[in-house]
Structures are given as structure tokens and as C-alpha cells.
Amino acid sequence: MPITEMLSMNAQIYPNKTSLIERDPAQGIRREITWQEFDNLSNQLANTLISYGIKKNDKVAILMMNCLEWLPIYFGVLKTGALAVPLNFRFTADEIKKCLETAGTKVLIFGPEFEERVKGIVDEIHCLKHVIFVGDEQLSGISNFFDIIKHAPAHAPEIDISDDEDAALYFTSGTTGVPKPIMLTHSNLVSACVTESHHHLQTHEDNFLCIPPLYHTGAKMHWFGSLMVGSKAVILKGVKPEYILEAVSEEQATIVWLLVPWAQDILEAIETGQIDLGDYKLDQWRLMHIGAQPVPPSLIKRWQKYFPGQAYDTNYGLSESTGPGCVHLGLENIHKVGAIGKPGFNWQAKIVDENGNVLPPGQAGELLVKGPGVMKGYYNNEKETRRVLRDGWLHTGDMARQDSEGFIYLVDRKKDVIISGGENIFPVEIEDFLQEHQDIKDAAVIGMPDKRLGETPIAIVETKTGRQLTESALLEFCKALPRYKRPRKIIFDKVPRNPTGKIEKPLLREKWCGKSVAVLV
């Protein structure tokens, strides 16, 4: 069945139960809607778009910050048979224009944070037929979302949608070059619902705290577990530790998905006394899970110290696999922290060399996955699709190894591997080591060009608030590493991460490679 039917079923079974809650602590705002209101809002938008001439396979872009309307708008687009095209809120005006033109977008729905960016490009995009603003004010020449849906029918449009039809285009994050649009079908999206619900044992009584951006497959596909069982979810605007703990406490959240930096911030706030856990009701918080990036084992060890009764999971995935879940640690495997886990529910995985040969345990190669969430392909890009999709296997571009028990460990992105004097150096291994240091909050390792060795590793280190760390002390600490893995240069700076928590290494290479910095020998 198409994923839209899950929403309709929840509206029938739980019409008056809360579906979504929005919390904006900075503004003192709390809003909520029921499953019936969620479904009605989606239907009203769908019927409005159909009256605009939107039909199957048309593209409707969503450029909004997280808010109560985000998911109803997404499902409203899907109910027309058109493809939803969520856009990264960090995209510049030029990047937004490029994405809209690449997708052949007919409608753009945007929030107030993007007014200036949209106004500067909207007249230049010839494929665009309608622009809709989601905000309280009226913009000249642009339709207001709340006005246009006000009198639209709240019943579902009579559009026949099959499982294998296209549902969405998700652009890659852009951290590795020009973003590519990923085609996902309704079947892909439904598979994410099943996988998430199975992995985290979700029930109708759970309450999922959603913090990461909804334009990304990670946050949305984790929320799909809530959709599957008709449970409530909280959309939190703001990532301050006190905002997160207040939301968990006051809304009685049971499941929280965090990114590494947010977990680090919570721990630092606890350890520095800024936060007293005794001020919050957290007994019901049964699961904290992290994904979107490698997770330092030291972080989870610290977390267990303050949240000893809490289950933990790591989730691995990518937009090309319909988000997280193709590999996951499993609630019962906390003793294997450091691994990303085993193939997820209904998934297969293998690790291969450059010639496609399966590697034995202990050897690092490229991670390939196969399952119901593998994308249909890159939109209008057969060459790139053929490069990453072969015989149903998705070539992730991530380097990994497997232990004797079948647990998979991510060692790095293929493109980020540093080759120094013929030796392969995996930056994640050094980053995990550095984060064991009590004064280090975050760390990134990149390759610096070297005439003799080809590349040498350098480390960008972000210290914890109020902590001091010298080059000489860190040099002594790094002697525990094999000599060829020791960073040759140390830079004390903030480690940049994108909205989904991934280290933005291209920015670090551009900023630091070639600059004069402290040298460790």
C-alpha cells in the first residue's frame, strides 16, 4: 500500500489522539494536532494542489524549517500522486534554484526563514508555476498557505496510487559536491516504517522526540515508526540541552534520536553543573539512539554513566537506502558499542574489495547493502545510478570491516581515507581515539598533501568549555597510536558539522590544508 494510507488509517483508528506536538522554547510556543487534523490538513492541501493542475509525477518542493505543518504538507503532496521534494534549509539561493530546475519543480512551498532567498530567484525558474508561503503574514504576489486551504475539501482526493510509484526526490546533502536527486517510491517509504518499528519495538504508547531537520531522510524515517503504530511525536525547535531535557520531561517522551554534538552538549552541561538531572522526569525515557555519523564509543560510555537504565541503539543508513536502518546495532547489543551493527530487518550487507570480492572478517573494504529501501535511482542520471546500483546492491561509498561475530564497524568514507606512504589511514579511528581524551569535545582528521608521503593526517580539535589543552600534552597522548596514524599537525578550532551531524570535511580541507599550523613530530 502507499504510505499515505497509513495516515488515513491512523485518522480512522485514533481520530482524537494527539499525532504531533510542536515545541518552540525560545518563543514560548506549544502547538499540537490530532491524527484527524493531520489527515484533514493533508487532504486540504492535496485538493488545493490538484485544483492548481498538479498531477502524478509532478514535483512539489518543500523548503521549511521544522514546524507543525511540515509533515501534513509532505503527505498532502504525496496524496496528489506528485513527488515531494524536500530541500536542505542550508542551501543558498543559487543551490535552491539549481535543485528546483533539476527536479523540474512546478510548486514551491516555503517558510518565512527563506523569504529573501526565494524572492531573489523565483522569477528566474521557468518550470515553477506556483509559489506558496507558509506564514502569518501576506507576501505580495505569493499565495498564503493558510488562506488557500481554508475552504478546500478535507476529504481524501480520489487518486489511485500504487506501491511502486515514485513518491519523493531527496537531494544528497551536498557535502561531497553537487547534490543529486534520489528517487524513492511509496514502497521504499513503507519499508522504512516497517524497519524502524521493528528495530525499536515501537507501540502506540510511545512518544518520539524529533529534533533533526525533517527535510532529511534520517529524522523523517525515524518518525515513520510513529506513523506505523499511530503514536505521538514531538517536533522540537532548538537543540539546547535544557530544551531537550525539558521536552522529554514535560511531554513524557520515550524515544529520542540525537546527533553526536547534541549528546556531547548534554553530557557537558551535566558534568559542568549547568544541568541537574534531578530537575527532570526522565524515568519513561527508554531509548536513546544515534545515527547519521560514526559514534565515538567513549561518548556512549559517558552517557551510560548518567542514564544507566536506558537502552541504546546505533543506526546506519543513507538517503539512497531510504534513511536509517539498513544496518543497526540492536537494543540487545550495547556490549558492541563502536560497531554500527548487523544488517537491519529485511536487509543484507557485505564488505567487498575493489574487484567486488567479499572480504573475510577483519579486512576493510566498501560496504554494500541490499534491501527494500534501496532507491529507485538518481533522477535523470543513469550513469551515476549504474555506478552505485549493481545487481540490486547499493555501493555506499563507506569503508567498513566485519568482526568474527558478524558485527560491522564503519572505518570511514571511501573518499576520506588517507593514503600516507602507501598505508591506508582511516580518519574515524583517529577521531575516536582523540575523543577518549577528557578535555576534547570533538575532533576531525583530514589528509594534508605531502610531497614525500602523498598525504599525512592532521587533526582539528575542539576542546570542552573551560578546558585547556596544549600541543605538547596532545602529542604525548597521541603516542599511544601507531606512529603512522599520529596526526602530524594539530589545529584547535571548532569542528563544523552539517544539520545531520556529519563532519564537513571539504570545508576543513579548504580552510586548513596549506595553512601554517602547529606541527607534531
pLDDT tens-digit readout, 426-449: 787 888 889 889 889 989 998 888
- Closest alpha carbon to 502 in 90, 118, 77, 69: 90
In this prediction, residue 520 carries a pLDDT of: 34
Q: Are 119 and 142 in contact (CB under 8 A)?
A: no
* Residue keyed to cell 489527515: 39
The answer on pLDDT for 422 being more than 80 is: no
In this prediction, residue 451 carries a pLDDT of: 64
Question: Quick check: is 257 in a domain?
Answer: no
Domain that holds residue 447: 417-519
Q: Which domain CATH number covers 495? A: 3.30.300.30
DSSP strands (E only) in 292-430: 311-318, 323-328, 342-343, 348-352, 365-370, 377-378, 389-390, 393-402, 408-413, 418-420, 423-425
Q: How many CA atoms lie within 13 A of 218 on its CB side?
A: 25
In this prediction, residue 90 carries a pLDDT of: 80
Pairing of strands 29-34, 323-328: unpaired
Pairing of strands 107-110, 83-86: unpaired
- Give me the torsion for CA of 238, 244, 246, 247, rounded to 10°: 80
> Over the Cα atoms of the chain, what is R_g?
23
The answer on pLDDT for 519 being more than 80 is: no
Instruction: Give per-residue pLDDT as tens, 125-148.
Output: 999 999 999 999 999 989 999 999
Helix (H, G, I), strand (E, B) or coil at 378: strand
Report the chain's mean pLDDT, rounded to a whole number: 90
* Residue keyed to cell 521504499: 188
Q: In whole angstroms, what is the distance from residue 9 CA to residue 17 CA?
A: 13
The answer on pLDDT for 331 being more than 70 is: yes
In this prediction, residue 496 carries a pLDDT of: 87
Question: Quick check: is 76 in a domain?
Answer: no
Q: Please state whether the predicted TM-score (pTM) of the whole model is above 0.85.
A: no
- Closest alpha carbon to 155 in 50, 19, 3, 33: 50
Instruction: Give per-residue pLDDT as tens, 446-471.
Output: 888 876 667 788 899 999 888 888 87
Q: In whole angstroms, what is the distance from residue 233 CA to residue 394 CA?
A: 31
| Number of structural domains the chain divides into | 1
Question: Quick check: is 9 in a domain?
Answer: no
In this prediction, residue 521 carries a pLDDT of: 28
Question: Quick check: is 500 in a domain?
Answer: yes
The answer on pLDDT for 85 being more than 80 is: yes
Question: Quick check: is 454 in a domain?
Answer: yes
Percentage, residues of the chain above pLDDT 70: 94
Helix (H, G, I), strand (E, B) or coil at 117: helix
In this prediction, residue 516 carries a pLDDT of: 38
Residue 356, C-alpha cell as written in the block: 567486488
Q: Where are the alpha helices (DSSP H) in 133-240?
A: 145-149, 186-200, 217-229
In this prediction, residue 189 carries a pLDDT of: 97
Compute the average pLDDT of residues 252-279: 93
Question: Quick check: is 145 in a domain?
Answer: no
Instruction: Give per-residue pLDDT as tens, 40-65.
Output: 999 999 999 999 999 999 999 999 99
Question: Quick check: is 121 in a domain?
Answer: no
**Sign of the CA dihedral with 377 first, then 382, 386, and 390 last:** positive
Per-position b or e across 355-376, b if 16+ CB within 10 A of its CB: eeeebeeeebbbbbbbbbbbbb
Instruction: Give per-residue pLDDT as tens, 186-234.
Output: 999 999 999 999 999 999 999 999 999 999 888 899 999 999 999 999 9
Question: Quick check: is 442 in a domain?
Answer: yes
The answer on pLDDT for 489 being more than 50 is: yes
Q: Are 36 and 18 in contact (CB under 8 A)?
A: no
In this prediction, residue 294 carries a pLDDT of: 67
Q: Are 256 and 263 in contact (CB under 8 A)?
A: no
